[in-house]
Amino acid sequence: IGTRPNIDLLKLAGVQCSRGVLVNEYLQTSDPHIFAIGEIAEFHEKLYGITAAAEQQADSLAKYMSGDWSSIYSGSVIMNILKFEDLDICSIGDIFVPANDVTYEEVVFTDLSLRYYKKCIVRHDRLIGAILIGDKSEFAEFRMMIEDRIELSEKRTELLRSQTGKQEVIGRLVCSCNHVGAGNLQEAINAGCADFNELCNETGAGLGCGSCKPEVMDIFKERQKKGKNATEFTTYTY
């Protein structure tokens, strides 16, 4: 199921491969003159078939090849998002708990009447994985907590609570992963988001599969041209 790396030519060339082509922290293969990123690259026995991982790898490799030898790739958070018309389903991070390992904890919230299920995997007071069914509005926040290895401390109890639900989509839907519309992006820019990454983190746009990022960037650039204090909404067509 899904894609499989085409590594036949690399094998014939003597480049070390397993399921994909093996790379080190510099995205370098066993041939020091060949680098690999994206779905073909296997890092620490993992293949990442998501846009976000490919972007992180590209950013790390670009810095390294530009002379920043301190730029290394340390892996990406695994994410899966299934998009149905009436039901949100997603997973992020490590969602399987090893048997008989007491360092792992499961925090579960279920509301059958709302068709809502949330399971958080906690280890050493850090969120390491989550499954969200029925409402994935916490996806962006959970991804940040996992990537940044944030200690939960007093935030731990928040994992047990049901959330208020999806944000209202304003205007044309841009990011289906996190329910962000063109109007939501425009409001965030008007409120002071002057940086593309800040806009994504504030609204959640582009933090899922990442396929909407070019469109988010177009809206961001167009809105910046008009000035962040503009209040009228614009209809964007592509």
Position 119 scores a pLDDT of 93
As a whole number, mean pLDDT of residues 142-168 equals: 75
Where in the chain is CATH 3.30.390.30?
79-160
CATH of 173-226, one of 3.40.720.10, 1.10.10.1100, 3.40.50.2000, 1.10.1060.10: 1.10.10.1100
> Do residues 136 and 98 lie in contact, with contact meaning Cβ atoms separated by under 8 Å?
no
> How far apart, in whole angstroms, are the C-alpha atoms of residue 122 and residue 100?
15
| E strand residue ranges, 138-212 | 173-175, 180-181
pLDDT digits (tens, 9 = 90+) for 159-188: 666 555 556 788 888 887 777 888 999 899
pLDDT digits (tens, 9 = 90+) for 75-115: 999 888 887 777 889 999 999 888 889 999 998 988 888 88
Mean pLDDT, the chain, whole residue set: 85
Is the pLDDT score of 228 beyond 80?
A: no
> How far apart, in whole angstroms, are the C-alpha atoms of residue 73 and residue 27?
7
Reported as a pLDDT band with limits 50, 70 and 90, residue 127 is very high
CATH of 8-65, one of 3.40.640.10, 3.40.50.970, 3.50.50.60, 3.10.440.10: 3.50.50.60
The CATH superfamily holding the domain 79-160 is FAD/NAD-linked reductase, C-terminal dimerisation domain (3.30.390.30)
As a whole number, mean pLDDT of residues 48-77 equals: 92
| pTM listed for this prediction | 0.67
Where in the chain is CATH 3.50.50.60?
8-65
> How far apart, in whole angstroms, are the C-alpha atoms of residue 189 and residue 234?
13
